[in-house]
Amino acid sequence: MTRQRSKQEQKIRAWFKAEVGKRLEALGAVKRGEEKCYPYLLATSIGPLEVAPEEDWVACVWTDLERAKAAIRDTRLNHCCGKWNHLYDAGMFKSRRMAQAAVDDFFCELGLFLPNGSKQP
């Protein structure tokens, strides 16, 4: 049985999703619409990255799988389909400070693949 989330936790999760979207747009990501599985498209140094912020994770997929496999050495990358998802423990959404740490973690990893000269928001 799943535990009911408090209003505060629901609010923090909504903030997380919105904050990831806001920071993607600040990096120049194109918002293609909520009806898309991956509503954001971001140009990176290893090809386009499709991104879908969720309430407690960030779904990503690289459109150029071969370039992604050559550049990314961590186990987060699915070498068959190009998915590069970022999942966070439920405990990360108990406070705004912890949710901010999750946002910062995602953008720190993403920063490795931003074109030279891109500034993190």
pLDDT at position 66 over 90: yes
Q: Where are the domains of the chain?
A: 7-111
Here the tokens at position 70 are 């050559």
pTM: 0.91
Burial (0-12, 13-18, 19+ Cβ within 10 Å), 44: buried
For the stretch 6-41, pLDDT in tens is 999 999 999 999 999 999 999 999 999 878 899 999
Q: Are 16 and 56 in contact (CB under 8 A)?
A: yes
Task: Please state, in angstroms and rounded to a whole number, the distance separating the CA atoms of residues 22 and 117.
Answer: 19
